[in-house]
Amino acid sequence: MAQGFRALKTDPFMPEMRQHHRRYMQGTISAEGSALAVDTIASIREAIGPNIEVLLDCHGNFDVPTVISMAKLLEPFNIGWFEEPVQPNSNEALKHVQESVNVPICVGERLYTRWDFVPILEDRLAEYLMPDILWTGGITELNKISALAESFYVPVSP
């Protein structure tokens, strides 16, 4: 933080979810895994203080009830965003999460073109977009996605 960083991105669920990384299994996390995630974020927040954002990457590993439960448990630690809380192929699941939690949502890592982002923006399913330049096919499409997001006043974090 002394180097000027203003945010820290982490995955407190990785100890349990590592085996499922990038592929959805049952969508849940054990009570032990949940407790470890909360303890990890509590320790991080205590170490870095209140002025640094803590951003969480869920890798699309969770089902709706699990991510809602985790968001509510982690909300007291002033989470900057939950990235990819559910699989990217279900806007209905994302909408349910968005309407149920007080933690900002970030999506887009596994969306490919500006047209994939249109329903996310029109339905206000995320507070932040994070398109991946490799998945989008390069800087030209990324710039188009960024311009589209700007028209909805949604920030982009590439």
Which domains are present in the chain?
1-87 (3.20.20.120)
| Cα–Cα distance, 122 to 110 (Å, whole number) | 18
**Strand, coil or helix: 136:** helix
Mean pLDDT of the chain: 91
- Decide if 121 contacts 154 (C-beta within 8 A): yes
The secondary structure of 40-107 as a DSSP string is HHHHHHHHH-TTSEEEEE-TT---HHHHHHHHHHHGGG-EEEEES-S-TT-HHHHHHHHHH-SS-EEE
CB atoms inside a 10 Å sphere around CB 132: 13
**What is the predicted pLDDT for the residue at 20?**
55
CB under 8 Å to 111, separation ≥6 — which residues?
88, 117, 120, 131, 135, 136
Structure tokens at 128: 């932040």
**Strand, coil or helix: 156:** strand
Query: pLDDT of 14-29, one tens digit each?
Result: 877 666 555 556 788 8
Query: pLDDT of 65-75, one tens digit each?
Result: 999 999 999 99
What's the whole-model pTM score? 0.89
Residue 149's closest CA among 57, 91, 126, 137? 126
